[in-house]
Amino acid sequence: MNVEQSARLAFLNHFGRDADFVVKAPGRVNLIGEHTDYNDGFVLPCAIEYATYIAVSPRTDDVVNVLALDCDNQTDNFLVNKPLNSHSTQTWSNYVRGVVDELQKRNHQLSGCDICITGNVPQGAGLSSSAALEVGIAYAFNHLCELFIERKEIAKIAQAAENNFVGCNCGIMDQLISACGTQGKALGIDCRSLDLVEVSIDPAMTILMINSNVKRGLLDSEYNLRREQCYSGAKAFSKSSLREVSIEEYESQKHMLNKDVAKRVEHIVYENLRTLEAMQAFTHNDITKLSTLMAQSHGSMRDLFEITTPQIDTLVDIISQVIQNNGGVRMTGGGFGGCVVAFVPNILVKDVIAAVESQYERLTGLKESIYTSLPSAGVSLIRT
Ligand code: GAF
């Protein structure tokens, strides 16, 4: 049985009737451009084949009943047109409630429904299971209530839910790629204008995601602190965001910054440039360049933004020894745990996996999980 069928079957067992439709919302892997999104900068993610599946049927009243299959079958219910409080014990509920709260704030006419949520995006792995859930819920209500909200707006609603209701000040990248992903392509995103550029991925290369299994949610990490440090850096330059600070401005004025803030700003201004260069390198299949850019990005996250962990650094070392300059590897996502992404020639995939399997657990005491994915499409509807 595939994940969609599991969602439908669980829906039927729990609610005693068939689901009307299923929404599939993908997770994502970011190839380069880390923590640049909330600085109005550039990112280069692709949606992945791992996704959250949300089975839905309308109700004739205002009640929303939710079943979360992967959270020990916990349930939640609330009224769709009444002000919502956050759930005190079930974190997952707040991603659902948060989206409904944002739809309410925008005066959308909502109606009740029964919902069953499941999926195969690894949780706490930095592959955006939360954004997939938020985007999936927004898309489900969009369809159910015929709201005609366009995809970028879905992403903004989903991000607002996470910022305002869940309390993580994430940027727009994860929600935008889950909403707008394109089959077979990565998307270069200008997070200031939200312009999207499709970037082809060479079919002779594989995207590997290796989970360190160091688990840390964004909320309990230093994510919000990094964001504050970036804002104070922009303020020190009298700019609205670090996107507006050039490398020359940074280099000539860095002495005026507090030591930690200077490191954060340096990461962002150079990471933006690396991301633009990587878009070109992917387009021209310049693997040597990509190798350098991804290595620099990782080093910058480790030494300047200080968001990697020893286990993640070990994974990157193991993999870079195998691929050398025939591919690239770096941590992906918010950091403090989660996955590394490796861009590997198909012929080296076996060697990379063998090296990780034989060394990572011995060196760190943790067992990795390995995934691959083709770039996939954004949120979609699956009817019976
Ligand atoms: C997390 C956030 F949700 C994104 O907005 C982004 O900042 C990312 O970390 C780091 O690039 O996934």
Q: Report the percent of the chain where pLDDT is more than 90.
A: 95
Residue 37, both tokens? 């999104």
Does 305 sit in the ligand 1 pocket, CB within 6 Å? no
Instruction: Please tell me if the CB atom of residue 378 comes closer than 6 angstroms to any atom of ligand 1.
Output: no
Distances (CA, A) of 368 to 124, 131, 144, 171: 13, 23, 39, 27
Q: Is 174's C-beta closer than 6 angstroms to any atom of ligand 1?
A: yes
Say if residue 239 is exposed, middle or buried (CB neighbours under 10 Å; 0-12, 13-18, 19+). Answer: middle
**Mind listing the pLDDT tens digit for each residue in 210-247?**
999 998 766 667 899 999 999 999 999 999 999 999 99
Q: Which of 291, 317, 282, 289 is nearest to 302 (CA)?
A: 317
Cβ neighbour number for residue 54 with a 10 Å cutoff: 28
Contact between 213 and 22 under an 8 Å Cβ cutoff? The reply is: no
Tell how many helices (H) and how many strands (E) occur in the chain: 11, 13
Q: Which pLDDT tens digit goes with each residue over 95-132?
A: 999 999 999 999 999 999 999 999 999 988 999 999 99
Q: Strands, DSSP E only, in 174-219?
A: 185-190, 195-200, 205-211
Residue nearest (by alpha carbon) to ligand 1 atom 3:
170
Give the start-to-end residue ranges of the domains of the chain. Answer: 3-200+376-382, 205-373
Q: How buried is residue 279: exposed, middle or buried, by Cβ count under 10 Å (0-12/13-18/19+)?
A: buried
What pLDDT sits at residue 384?
Answer: 66
Q: Which atom of ligand 1 is nearest to the CA of 33?
A: 11
DSSP state of 85: P
Residue to probe by mutation, ligand 1, list 35, 39, 130, 298, most atoms within 8 Å of CB: 35
Give the model's pLDDT for residue 217. Answer: 65
Q: Give the bridge partners for 380, in sequence order.
A: 24
* Spacing, Cα 172 to ligand 1 middle (Å): 8
Q: Is the CB of 76 under 6 A from ligand 1?
A: no
pLDDT at position 124 is: 85
Annotated binding-site residue numbers for substrate:
34-37, 223
Residue tagged active-site, from 40, 101, 174, 313: 174
Q: Is 174 a catalytic residue?
A: yes
> Is the pLDDT reported for residue 252 higher than 80?
yes
Secondary-structure class of domain 205-373 per CATH: alpha beta
- φ, ψ of residue 170 to 5 degrees: the values are -65, 160
Average pLDDT over residues 60-72: 97
Binding-site residue numbers for Mg(2+) are 130, 162
What's the chain's average pLDDT?
Answer: 96
Strands 195-200 and 185-190 turn out to be antiparallel
- Nearest-CA neighbor of 140 among 384, 381, 383? 381
Give the atom of ligand 1 at the shortest distance from the alpha carbon of 38: 7
State the CATH architecture for 3-200+376-382. 2-Layer Sandwich (3.30)
In whole angstroms, how far apart are CA 263 and each of 254, 307, 369? 9, 12, 31
pLDDT tens-digit map of 253-287: 999 999 999 999 999 999 999 999 999 999 999 99
Cross-strand bridge partners of residue 370: 210
Residue 292 falls in which region: left (phi positive, over 0), alpha (psi -120 to 50) or beta: alpha
Nearest atom within ligand 1 for CA of residue 223:
9
DSSP letter for each residue of 157-174: HHHHHIIIII-----SHH
Q: Which residue ranges are tagged as binding site for ATP?
A: 124-130
Distance in Å, CA 131 to ligand 1 centroid: 10
The verdict on the CB of residue 336 being under 6 Å from ligand 1 is no
Can 3-200+376-382 and 205-373 be said to share one CATH topology?
A: no
User: Is the ipTM reported for this complex over the cut 0.95?
Assistant: yes
**What was the pLDDT predicted at 219?**
62
Which of these, 287, 362, 369, 358, lies nearest to 328 by C-alpha position? 287
Cα–Cα dist 325/36, whole Å? 25
- Residues 299 and 291: their CA atoms lie apart, in Å, by 12
Q: pLDDT digit string (tens) for 294-325?
A: 999 999 999 999 999 999 999 999 999 999 99
Alpha-carbon span 379 to 341, nearest angstrom: 22
Residue nearest to atom 8 of ligand 1 (CA): 334
Decide whether any atom of ligand 1 lies within 6 Å of the 37 Cβ: yes
Q: Is the pTM of this model over 0.95?
A: yes
Q: Atom 9 of ligand 1 has which residue's CA nearest to it?
A: 334
Strand partners of residue 329 = 342
CB 263 within 8 A of CB 305: yes
Among protein residues, the one whose CA lies closest to atom 2 of ligand 1:
170
- What is the distance between the alpha carbons of residues 273 and 293, in angstroms, rounded to a whole number? 10
Q: Specify the amino acid at residue 330.
A: R
Question: What is the position in ligand 1's atom list of the atom closest to the CA of 36?
Answer: 11
Residue ID of nearest Cα to ligand 1 atom 1: 334
